[in-house]
Each structure stands twice: as structure tokens, then as C-alpha cells.
């Protein structure tokens, strides 16, 4: 089966600009998650979709971040306007169940805000 696909793999933008990250989960996986790793820190949870509904968005840092999953297929994460502290690697993951048997992660999008 195809894995979780994320793009772009790298993005360099200026402070104040907008960036949209995309994630295509494994086909048939209702659960989709976004995580982020900033330099020197652990990978941290951002939010969880079940189909098109946001199940848990407690990890979203602020209202500059907007995640959508229209139609319950792919998801986008928009950062607007981007700040320097938003730099890091953004991972998407998907699972059939609630992830108790492990998620499948994508390779991540490395975002650099300059």
C-alpha cells in the first residue's frame, strides 16, 4: 500500500508570508494527525482528524495555524502569517483505528521561516 505522502518536503519562506502544507494519508485511514518537531525538542501533537471532523486540536499553537480535511481525504495545514518560531519539521500520520496499533508517518515537511 502507498504510504503517507507529504509535500512539499522543504519550504523556505519569509516571516509574514503564508505557507500551506499538504498530507495525503493511506487510503481508507479515517484518522489523520499532525505533529511538529522544533529544533532540539520532542515531536509534539498538533491535532487529530477523524474523517473530516477535528477530534482534538489541543496542540495547535495559536490561531495562525489552520488545518482542514475536506471530504475526509487529504489534509492541509496553513500557517498565516508565518513567524520565525514556526520553523521545524511538520509530520503527518494516519491510522485505521485510534492509533493503538501504531501510526504510519509521512517523511515530513521541513519548514524554515527566515
Partner 1 sequence: EDQVTQSPEALRLQEGESSSLNCSYTVSGLRGLFWYRQDPGKGPEFLFTLYSAGEEKEKERLKATLTKKESFLHITAPKPEDSATYLCAGSPRGKIIFGKGTRLHILP
- Can you give the binding site for partner 1, defined by CB under 8 A? 4, 31, 33, 35, 41-45, 48, 55-56, 58-59, 91, 93, 98-108
Closer residue to partner 1, CB minimum distance, 19 or 46: 46
CB of 74 to partner 1, least distance (A): 16
CB of 8 to partner 1, least distance (A): 14
CB of 72 to partner 1, least distance (A): 17
| Strand positions, DSSP E, 1-114 | 5-7, 10-13, 19-24, 31-37, 44-50, 53-56, 65-68, 75-79, 88-95, 104-105, 109-113
* Nearest of 1, 19, 8 to residue 79 by alpha carbon: 19
Amino acid at each position: 500500500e502507498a504510504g503517507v505522502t507529504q509535500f512539499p518536503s522543504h519550504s523556505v519562506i519569509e516571516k509574514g508570508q503564508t505557507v500551506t502544507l499538504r498530507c495525503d494519508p493511506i487510503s481508507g485511514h479515517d484518522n489523520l494527525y499532525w505533529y511538529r518537531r522544533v529544533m532540539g525538542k520532542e515531536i509534539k501533537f498538533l491535532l487529530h482528524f477523524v474523517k473530516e471532523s477535528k477530534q482534538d486540536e489541543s496542540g495547535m499553537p495559536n490561531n495562525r495555524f489552520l488545518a482542514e480535511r475536506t471530504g475526509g481525504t487529504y489534509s492541509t495545514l496553513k500557517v498565516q502569517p508565518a513567524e520565525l518560531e514556526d520553523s521545524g519539521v511538520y509530520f503527518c500520520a494516519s491510522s485505521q483505528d485510534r492509533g493503538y496499533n501504531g501510526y504510519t508517518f509521512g517523511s515530513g515537511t521541513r519548514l524554515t521561516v527566515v
